[in-house]
Amino acid sequence: MKNLLDNKSILITGGTGSFGKKFVRMTLEKFSPKKLIVLSRDEMKQWDMQKEFAPHDKKGVLRYFIGDVRERERLNLAFQEVDYVIHAAATKIVPTAEYNPFEAIKTNIHGAMNVIEAAIAQKVKRVIALSTDKACNPINLYGATKLCSDKLFVAGNAYAGAHDIRFAVVRYGNVMGSRGSVIPFFNERAKTGEIPITDKRMTRFMITLEQAVELVWFALEDCVGGEIYVPKIPSMKVVDIAKAISSKAKQKIIGIRPGEKLHEFMIGEDDARHTYEYRTFFKILPDIYNWHKCTQRIGNGKKCADGFSYSSENNQEWMTKEQLQAWLKSEYSGNDTLR
């Protein structure tokens, strides 16, 4: 991936979010892109991001576009002369989607359709869409909309026809420290002396923003079209996350929220039939058009056994409280709740 993004024009939807900001920072540090375009609908977040990133944009490659993935015409304009699109825009908070279902569908499903159609029309070369563990065996609306989105991006490779474009998906679980995730929430609540726990049995996958960005880079380089990339990452019990953040704060069991899962799944048993394992990740291949039999897509992967599943409960790798505390200290240095 040494020269992967050099002299390329890259656009990221939802670019002012936690992932988008980390993607921009790491891309500026590692590559020399021609243009790096942030598309989002919040002008104040863009204004703040411009001020934050101005010292890092020494070559003046950053661009900021106000726009919404719900609006296809705006995407058609924004995608002109763009090589790669990273689709990170989403309505992603589970209770928000449960109580605002029409809005979640407009952004997560209709928005995905708009991204696909605009990318084909504007001759984009690669599109990588961000997914979630909640798209596997979904029980909430957010997961259901992201499952639809995943299916759309996989099928987008067929809709492209003769166009030289590839669509792929990356799927991962709880991103440590991302906005709206459990760690910053627990970190804030620990200051009150009490951390709410939905269920003491609950487990979650753990991935850093850096790992999430690197997975997207890899997918850009590796994809043939239609793959869903799933990283091998550790799990952790939610009660242990709370203890790592504050050993003194009391834990209060409050019950599972609407649409919330006890454990995260990233690969279900039904997906195992066309899933391949690699050293650091899994690849779910599409079963349409016999793409799951494509040797170029399979590469050196090992076929997963029938009945295989990958969940935060049955994971072979677990993060310890000490490992999480080491990460917390590097991210939240000087915070007196980390003890």
Q: What residues act catalytically?
A: 134
Looking at residue 249, its amino acid is: A
Main-chain dihedrals φ then ψ at residue 150, nearest 5 degrees: -60, -45
Q: What is the DSSP string of 218-262?
A: HHHHH--SS-EEEE---EEEHHHHHHHH-SSSEEEE--PPTT--S
Neighbouring-strand partners of residue 170: 130, 229
As a whole number of angstroms, the longest Cα–Cα distance in the chain is 61
CA angle at 134 for the pair 140 and 74, rounded to the nearest 5°: 90
Residue 179 and residue 170: Cα distance in Å, rounded? 19
Residue 41 and residue 208: Cα distance in Å, rounded? 25
Residues in Cβ contact with 11 at an 8 Å cutoff, skipping those fewer than 6 apart: 37, 38, 39, 65, 78, 79, 82, 84, 85, 86
Residues in Cβ contact with 167 at an 8 Å cutoff, skipping those fewer than 6 apart: 116, 119, 127, 129, 153, 154, 156, 157, 160, 223, 225, 226
Tokens 């590839």, located at residue = 166
Q: Are 74 and 1 in contact (CB under 8 A)?
A: no
